Amino acid sequence: MTEQQQIMNNSNIPVSEVYWSLVDKADKKFSKIRDLPYYERNRYDTYFYKVFKVYTQLWKFQQENRQKLVEAGLKRWEIGEIASRIAQLYYGQYMRTSDSSYLSESYVFYEAILSREYFKDGLFQDLNLANKQLRFFARFLMVSLVWNRREMVHQLVNLLKILVDECRKAFQETDFKEWKLVVQEISRFLKADTAFMNTRPLRYSLVLDLHPDSLPRVATRRSLKLRDAILSSYHHNEVKFSELTVDTFRMLQCLEWEPSGSFYQSSSAKIGQNGGSGSSRINHAQDIADPTLPLNPRKAVLYRPSVTHFLAVLGTICEELAPDGVILIYLSASGRVGHTISPPSGAGTSINTTENTVRNFQSHAMYLDAVTISPFSSSSNIPNPSSRQSKSDCLHFGTRGNGGLNSIYPTDLIPFTRRPLFIVIDSDSSEAFKAISGAEKGEPAAIILSPSCSIPLTTGDSSRHHSGSLLTMFLSTPLQAFCLLIGLSGPDVEMDTYNKAEKLLSSSLNAWGLTLATSDMLDPVWAQILGDPFLRRLLLRFLFCRAVLTLFAPSSGKKEFHPECMPSLPTSLQPNASACQTVVLQMATVFGATKKFIFSEGIVLPAHSDVEMASSS
């Protein structure tokens, strides 16, 4: 017998009063945990379990007393509201811990809400209920996107479009313009991220990637593991959904383990109407508990942070870091002084209103910094983004006229080099961050720097404005980046050709990994992280990116178009080394694009190579 049932039996309190008392208690606890930041994570674990315990009691109580509660006036949407809160709690805990079992549980609850249509009754007679359904779709969209359930994502986008249109007809006095912009935002995101859908997961897959137990052993004084990551990206008019940009989304995905076999289930499974159950439905229980996988590195995703907030998060993570841990810092932002936030042509200031709308429905969204651009800024106060721009020595994550509150400098990171750092700077001002190397306070940092100039991609809608950063794409989806660089998009490539290139790239990167592991010239900074599967994969993909951009004809001999790393890597894997040139030649041959690269004299395909020219270039 539950505590609530004992109370009813002992005091004859009506079921409805006990229920609403529980609802009030749960609401108060939920409002507190919802506003907690996603850093200082260890501190809030106990509180999460307390809140979750209350909601578990509430959910069980309404199940056991459903008929009495309905007779007392309980509405279906109120049951859906409880389920939605539980789903939000799970997603929030996933954001704090990166434990994908919470993400999977959140998805299961949202899918149940969709299939049971809790918010449907009276939807077009009650504006408040219509907004609840819209917010539900938006929240479920975010969870489905992060959990890589693309079939459900597209289903939800269609449902959201239909609902917005129907709401505009039913509530003509209400402007649903912000929700139409939300639809445009997710549509733009999906367009940018579906060029090569379902070719392979971004996450680390034991099916496709080298098993951690099979990584070559490295002679090193210590071996570090990626324990935490800070991911932050902000560019003018960049592709994003809510506060998740396409760049941080890709980095978030490639720093997680793929539950064994789930990608292939989700690629082939077809979800029925309204997400209903059926023989083809994905078995989420297989995703929830995968004992073969280690824990995911914890990740803090920051959108347009002030420097004080960024430093607070970084400082907390350093404080909590395990003795064998290393922190990945990924920062992607412009260093152009003349570059600023301005609405796209014809959009006025409505895009900022969209962000506010998304933040409102995304109660489990990334931590919102107090310092943001005002959604009511006058366009006359916004500098012309097309005016002459000059690079600065920092990264800008927001407006300019705020005393540098949104600017991160190399010197901001140096105090934290008392801990092992793996730094990725993706910016036209990346060169300024070379200042970190040699100025560390105890732990030499591993640093990857993007080119200071971006190569115009030849495929339509393939600039950063439309598809994100090229370096980030190489680090997360290297083959897709290679294809876009040589002018190919998904529909242009036959799957047999793509799969052949995928196998070639995978075997080549593994060979480079073995070269690094056995090299006497490998710097200890790289040697100590080479045993971590995530960091090893990022490093090898960087090598591929550097080789490709160095040999690519439009950027050949132009250092401003080439990425760099510090400290330097062995000469045997420098871009002009035969090992690197041969791999790029093989990759270019697969796609019939050899004329797009400049190779040294004497570089030829290996005698045993079965690579064939796909088409003439």
Model pLDDT for residues 14-55, shown as the tens digit of each residue: 899 999 999 999 999 998 887 777 666 666 778 888 899 999
Is the distance from CB of 305 to CB of 38 less than 8 angstroms? no
* pLDDT given at position 332: 94
pLDDT over 70 at 367, yes or no: no
Cα separation, 315 vs 50, in Å, equals 27
Q: Measured between alpha carbons, how far is residue 150 from residues 108, 140, 256, 287, 423 in Å?
A: 15, 12, 17, 16, 31
Q: In one letter, which amino acid is 466? A: H
In this structure, whether the domain defined by 3-192 belongs to CATH 2.60.40 is answered with no
| pLDDT tens-digit map of 173-185 | 787 889 999 999 9
* pLDDT given at position 366: 32
* pLDDT given at position 41: 60
Q: Measured between alpha carbons, how far is residue 465 from residues 456, 462, 561, 578 in Å?
A: 11, 8, 18, 35
Cα separation, 412 vs 398, in Å, equals 17
* Tokens linked to 432: 């300024």
The CA dihedral of 434, 440, 443, 446, to the nearest 10 degrees, is -10
* Tokens linked to 269: 């499974």
Domains of the chain, by residue range, sit at 3-192, 205-220+470-617
| pLDDT tens-digit map of 279-299 | 333 344 444 446 778 899 999
| pLDDT cut 70: percent of the chain above it | 78
Question: Residues 370-384: what's their mean pLDDT?
Answer: 31
The whole-chain average pLDDT of the chain stands at 82
The residue among 490 and 385 whose pLDDT is bigger is 490
Question: Residues 429-458: what's their mean pLDDT?
Answer: 91
| pLDDT tens-digit map of 388-443 | 345 678 999 876 556 577 899 999 999 999 999 999 999 999 999 999 999 999 99
Give the count of alpha carbons within 13 A of 519, CB side only: 19
The residue among 482 and 273 whose pLDDT is bigger is 482
| pLDDT cut 90: percent of the chain above it | 58
* pLDDT given at position 162: 95
Is the distance from CB of 529 to CB of 535 less than 8 angstroms? yes
Label residue 375 by pLDDT band (50, 70, 90). very low
In the three-class reduction of DSSP (H, G, I as helix; E, B as strand; rest coil), residue 146 is classed as helix
Nearest Cα to 132, choosing from 158, 105, 154, 113?
A: 113
Class of residue 198 by CB neighbours under 10 A (exposed 0-12, middle 13-18, buried 19+): middle
pLDDT over 70 at 507, yes or no: yes
Nearest Cα to 538, choosing from 475, 612, 448, 608?
A: 475
Nearest Cα to 385, choosing from 397, 399, 395?
A: 399
Backbone angles phi, psi at 67, to 5 degrees: -60, -45
Class of residue 273 by CB neighbours under 10 A (exposed 0-12, middle 13-18, buried 19+): exposed
* pLDDT given at position 402: 60
* pLDDT given at position 465: 52
* pLDDT given at position 42: 63
The most confident of the ranges 31-35, 380-384, 511-515 is: 511-515
Is the distance from CB of 362 to CB of 134 less than 8 angstroms? no
